[in-house]
Chains A and B, each alone.
Chain A
């Protein structure tokens, strides 16, 4: 029965198959060309960049769902992304440090007592912020399973509480955007503090090393995470598509266009907004939890409000309200961004002034955002429409 429903859904929306097919071909191609598999044409660092880009595309899908479909311009979804990263980072850092400490003490005659072990690990992790005690929030950091649960629980509950308060008070439009931005900023500022329990501005590092798998090369690890990223993107794309093509999709688009009319139809608008806000926060959190082990480091600067604004820019450039537009926007802009800021393009000396792309890229991005908003409100995805019509 379930299968039949899914088959019908896929037949009715062939674009899903096209998307999944392209994602699969891309994943296989990168795998074959990677160092981990043998060909070595695609370097390990490029595999990581591509994997990270897929995670950003997933965050952009979440953004499109909440903004493009439901009309909530959230400037806080990158905070959920970052929180997901922190939650998995805590386990990675704890488990690996514990192994290192155990190894260092393997030669000593007496095995470490649990207290000594905990202290030694604490010194290793919190030495940089002048502490050695484990804060309460690290209570579950020795359990992968519990931290994985926290990846969804912490951002999920934050989104639920914040969304409930904001939507219940009927905060909408630009005021809601400002409120979400304030939440993001407050969270980032809190994390910057040394006594936040998450190592202040040092953040969590060494996340690319999987505990117990020191022998495995990064070439292999990078591929695993790349596959994980591709799977998460494909899976969440199907979920998002199921949502927007259901009657709930009709209702949230109606909320975007005329919220009070939906109320008079008898729909509890606040409940729907909360539902979409939380679901998309979870998607962003999952994306973050796969992203940061590939990035290797997470610090509070990642959660800065500008990151969430980028998310909105990607979706706007890619085209709102079409899911794949968000994916195109995120991939296109973030790859172009790392291209321009990665020093691959030579700076242009004009004699009196040198155009440095690291600085000028932002100007270029801002300009293309303005141009896209003014002249191509459908974004890059609008090109697909033209192609379809032709």
Chain B
């Protein structure tokens, strides 16, 4: 499998604290991957670097077949290249309808003038309806996003990610604050997504990782501690020492 995203030896420190320390990471096309690690292991910082929010002090992030470096690119450029990000707390535009949220996320020209003269075509309407269906929000399409339940907001955000038609999805703690039922549905959604996209899931919840049934990367103090199937990593002595043993 050729790699889609290649992170080579990145480091970043904030006020002397090394948040990421010589971290290397690779993910292939249509791969599902879970990242676990204790608090402060650098999971969120890792995502910040890949999506362009934080610039690393050293190392490189290489994307796609053309081996494009993402280091100097802005958040919006990286998003348009095909990396979507889902935040820990659901961030949808609460003031606007589910339909408008999805419509804005659709993969279309994003320059201001094109957006000003954009017409919501039947094709795009159809796409929005299908997306709403896939995330189970068909009934809610005309409602204001702020009225949705916590779980529904999480799914709407996933729907918006899918609307962007990214090749890689970075998902930060998707199951946080969800009920058991909502969590099961989210697992299904992520597995379904991984059929056509590469998906990286950052999660604390071991149960959830087990259900995802995929390759796991364990982060500790800003670098990779272990990598492999869940069974392999939980038997790894290093992992037990720093994370699971306590």
Contact = CB atoms under 8 A, between A and B. Distances in A.
B79 A265 contact: yes
A267 interface: yes
B53 A260 contact: yes
Contacts of B116: 243, 246-248
Contacts of A220: none
Contacts of A247: 103-104, 115-116, 118, 120
A13 interface: no
Contact of B75 (A246, A250, A264): A264
Interface string B82-113: 00110100010111100010011100001110
Nearest to B86: A264
Contacts of A266: 76, 79-80, 110, 164
A135 interface: no
A269 interface: yes
A271 interface: yes
Given A246-B116, A248-B118, A257-B94, 5 more contacts: A247-B103, A261-B87, A264-B76, A264-B85, A268-B110
Contacts of A272: 112
Contacts, number: 71
Interface string B108-136: 00111001111010000000000000000
A261 B93 contact: yes
B160 interface: yes
B55 to A, nearest CB: 13
15 contacts: A246-B115, A247-B103, A247-B116, A248-B118, A250-B96, A250-B104, A253-B93, A253-B95, A254-B104, A257-B94, A264-B79, A264-B84, A265-B104, A265-B164, A266-B79
Given A248-B116, A261-B91, A264-B51, A271 B100 contact: no
A263 B96 contact: no
A257 B120 contact: no
A269 B91 CA distance: 16
B74 interface: yes
A268 B87 contact: no
B161 to A, nearest CB: 9
Contact of A258 (B84, B85, B93, B103): B93
A258 B164 contact: no
B112 A257 contact: no
A333 interface: no
Contacts of A268: 74, 76, 110-111
Nearest to B81: A266
A243 B118 CA distance: 11
Contacts of A167: none
A266 B100 CA distance: 16
A251 B164 CA distance: 15
B79 A251 contact: no
For the complex of A and B, list the 3 residue pairs with the smallest distance between their C-beta atoms, beginning with the closest: A266-B79, A263-B75, A266-B80
Contact of A275 (B104, B112, B120): B112
A294 to B, nearest CB: 32
A251 B95 contact: no
B100 A250 contact: yes
A286 to B, nearest CB: 19
Interface in A218-247: 243, 246-247
A264 B110 CA distance: 12
A247 B118 CA distance: 6
B172 to A, nearest CB: 11
